[in-house]
Structure 1
């Protein structure tokens, strides 16, 4: 049965008022109720979600359950080992870059090893760069000879990646660059980032834009036609006037969805997915890069939108041999928790080297994250924004009547849960199911704490003492809430 959103709103509103009056704390509770009502209806715009929004929720259900994925940037640029933008940054011409094409032979490439690592890390999906900005194709395309099957590798690397990750039960996605520095009809001189952007020899060259866009559409058509079910199409990226219908984006998206009705498409074709009635190419999820938003992402009416922050594990997307500035397992866990607490996903990148190996340090970090996820994953998978404000000592995620409290730092004395008095049944450590003590403030005669609506947690007795965190990476407490809160 479909939910009647108007009836639901009235029910919530009336229940909030009755509950507030019964507890004789009308003003604070009513403010909370109105706030919760606003989350469902939006502070402005339409009162009932559009069919577009309902379709979006249905299509992204698995994505919002998964929460954690692997990004893989890999290609010819792994040989110079100075990052995936090396051609543009060093203004390298096609002839100078050709040496890497002639040499590309990842002798230790084993996508099953990659897939097992992703699974061990607790990741639920992965996205591979099928084509980056350099124009090199990692599949056996019929559109060009600039592809992996023409190199010493002599492999369709997209196919082997997809097969290996599917074998591990992971969802699969392909990254495709709208930008192309190899194709002769992609504008070069005067462009924002093309390797030949300021090369006078390229000034005045004629580029047939329609030829390039047709080429790009045909490549995408191959990827969504010849490789089975693709779960994500990750386009990158729009800039200047190169956005939206410049890519013939409506036509492109229509073709992709006809071939893959359940596919998710990112938001980098140039549309605005925060509109109530967005363009057809606006995308299914927002994609902040190298950062996590301060607040959840919503549309104009206030409805939550799916989003995914993509993040490098060190400071580089493509393999960079001298980049040792790795994030720790603790960093990754906290970024992931922060994203989920705001209704988002985290896509963590690895950059395999020229031999096709994921760097050892990346593997070590992801295995440590996976050890933590194997214990605490219930607080991540399928979890999302809590109805309660972010605590000062960490983050909350929530699933129904279960609140997950993440402690990031050792707390001074017992741990305050703001506004949760009379709402908590019990608390248990997710790590081993052991009791976490639920208690009022330890000294009811003090005048220094005027917090009548708070309840507190403690790892031992006496409760005012400071106890070591059970898990230094991130301690997770499962707080069971009363249904009639």
Structure 2
């Protein structure tokens, strides 16, 4: 463990007490119930939206294009999302089969999408739009029965007190001085606003810890504050590491649990908390005008099903345009996913990862005495499942209950799936045990 010195005092006792406070976290019954709901929900909408959308080059544009604060401060004058309609957004999510929404309250550029009283660097004070979009979205989520999570960036390229600098944000033109603990106080005060002024909030989705891994983030104080304000509020952090004490779910960025194709999950050993994986509909999180690399409906249904097979939720991102509309390409695909979920939702919602581990052909999910075999890619008509210690009573196609031939022995269970019964996205076989 590393110890920082302030005014020559080694903070050993403080850090020790922080560690003990984190390790002593005991979730309330309401929190445990919320975790259960979260695991059952399986599918959510991620929304990356802020003043960066004006430039149409993603949410990292301030850092990637080396834009300093003085120039970046011109952006809010162009951000006037008069076509934003919270009811339309929530309706789009519901029709896609999503059970919750996670929206960026503050991304790395520090710009706040709510009427914060702690800085005028926010949508109400700096833009011609002048309205609190989080208020509108929270009210509509509560009205339509969708849970709401707030993404909050611990990293901040705008605030001077985010100092010493981390690995990013070196081109903002901020003075090379600041008060780190004043910044953490600012962060906690903002979280207090979000958790006291917007009704029930299902969770806080942190990001940016990785920018300063060795800093004293005072996680125990921040996490304790959140659980005190709303005990059922779930805490997750995209720190790309194993879960830390006080967290309620574990997330994986652009990867299924246990995979590391992006390089983000090298230290993300799977813990015992509910799991979530997040992915984009093209390549970008925030609105990117020239990103036409749209994933197909089939690709996204497969990702959703695979996530469930890995016992994980799937948080699918949209990056709304600066006028407040979700891209029509996204809306179209979400509608198609929703139609699939209308038919096959039972095989995803409320399930857990099945007794057969994921394979190249697909995954299994389980609910009660039913194992749902999701066949995504099978070149043959026969599928051999390794022995999972349960006797199969019967097997049939989920769509029309047509019996499926199967044989079970000490080596496993072989099921026969005729080619003329295959479905476009996912052929689901139900095995009752």
Scaled to the shorter chain, the TM-score interval is: 0.7 to 0.9
Correspondent of 2:257 among 265, 289, 293: 293
Confirm or deny: 8 A CA contact 2:258 2:269 kept in the other structure: no
TM-score normalized by the length of structure 2: 0.85
**What is the Cα deviation at residue 259 of structure 1?**
1.0
Q: Which runs of 5+ in 2 are unaligned?
A: 1-23, 260-264
Equivalent position of 1:86 in the other structure: 61
1:111 aligns with 2:90: no
How many Å separate the matches in 2 of 1:284 and 1:162?
22
1:239 aligns with 2:204: no
**What is the Cα deviation at residue 196 of structure 1?**
2.0
**CA 1:51/1:236 → structure 2, altered by over 3 Å: closer, same or farther?**
closer
1:286-435 matches, cutoff 5 A: 286-294=250-258, 304-419=272-387, 423-431=391-399, 433-435=400-402
**What is the Cα deviation at residue 326 of structure 1?**
1.2
**What is the Cα deviation at residue 102 of structure 1?**
1.0
**CA 1:240/1:137 → structure 2, altered by over 3 Å: closer, same or farther?**
closer
Secondary structure, in 3 states, of the residue corresponding to 2:39? helix
How many Å separate the matches in 1 of 2:344 and 2:250?
26
How many Å separate the matches in 2 of 1:210 and 1:421?
54
How many Å separate the matches in 2 of 1:288 and 1:398?
22
1:457 aligns with 2:415: yes
**What is the Cα deviation at residue 420 of structure 1?**
6.7
Equivalent position of 1:438 in the other structure: 405
Secondary structure, in 3 states, of the residue corresponding to 2:256? coil
**What is the Cα deviation at residue 422 of structure 1?**
7.9
Q: Deviations over 1:214-240 (max 9, x none)?
A: 211111110001111100111112125
Confirm or deny: 8 A CA contact 1:68 1:345 kept in the other structure: yes
**CA 1:383/1:270 → structure 2, altered by over 3 Å: closer, same or farther?**
closer
**CA 1:405/1:269 → structure 2, altered by over 3 Å: closer, same or farther?**
closer
**CA 1:228/1:292 → structure 2, altered by over 3 Å: closer, same or farther?**
same
How many Å separate the matches in 1 of 2:225 and 2:239?
14
Q: Which runs of 5+ in 1 are unaligned?
A: 1-49, 442-450, 460-465
Secondary structure, in 3 states, of the residue corresponding to 1:288? strand
Confirm or deny: 8 A CA contact 2:355 2:364 kept in the other structure: no
How many Å separate the matches in 2 of 1:74 and 1:284?
25
How many Å separate the matches in 2 of 1:247 and 1:303?
21
1:97 aligns with 2:72: yes
Secondary structure, in 3 states, of the residue corresponding to 1:427? strand
**What is the Cα deviation at residue 335 of structure 1?**
1.2
1:208 aligns with 2:176: no
How many Å separate the matches in 2 of 1:242 and 1:54?
29
Q: Deviations over 1:225-277 (max 9, x none)?
A: 11111001111121254567x2322111111111101000003479852xxxx
1:68 aligns with 2:43: yes
Equivalent position of 1:162 in the other structure: 138
1:279 aligns with 2:245: yes
**CA 1:243/1:271 → structure 2, altered by over 3 Å: closer, same or farther?**
farther
How many Å separate the matches in 1 of 2:412 and 2:194?
54
How many Å separate the matches in 2 of 1:303 and 1:147?
36
Whose strand fraction is larger, Structure 1's or Structure 2's?
A: 2
Confirm or deny: 8 A CA contact 1:375 1:430 kept in the other structure: no
Confirm or deny: 8 A CA contact 1:308 1:347 kept in the other structure: yes
Q: Deviations over 1:274-324 (max 9, x none)?
A: xxxx533xx1111110111237x9xx9997331111111110000000001
Give me the CA root mean square deviation: 2.8
1:113-192 matches, cutoff 5 A: 113-150=88-125, 151-187=127-163, 191-192=166-167
Correspondent of 1:468 among 411, 420, 426: 420
Structure label with greater radius of gyration? 1
Confirm or deny: 8 A CA contact 2:153 2:207 kept in the other structure: yes
Confirm or deny: 8 A CA contact 2:155 2:211 kept in the other structure: no
Confirm or deny: 8 A CA contact 2:251 2:276 kept in the other structure: yes
How many Å separate the matches in 1 of 2:359 and 2:210?
38
How many Å separate the matches in 2 of 1:269 and 1:392?
29
TM-score normalized by the length of structure 1: 0.77
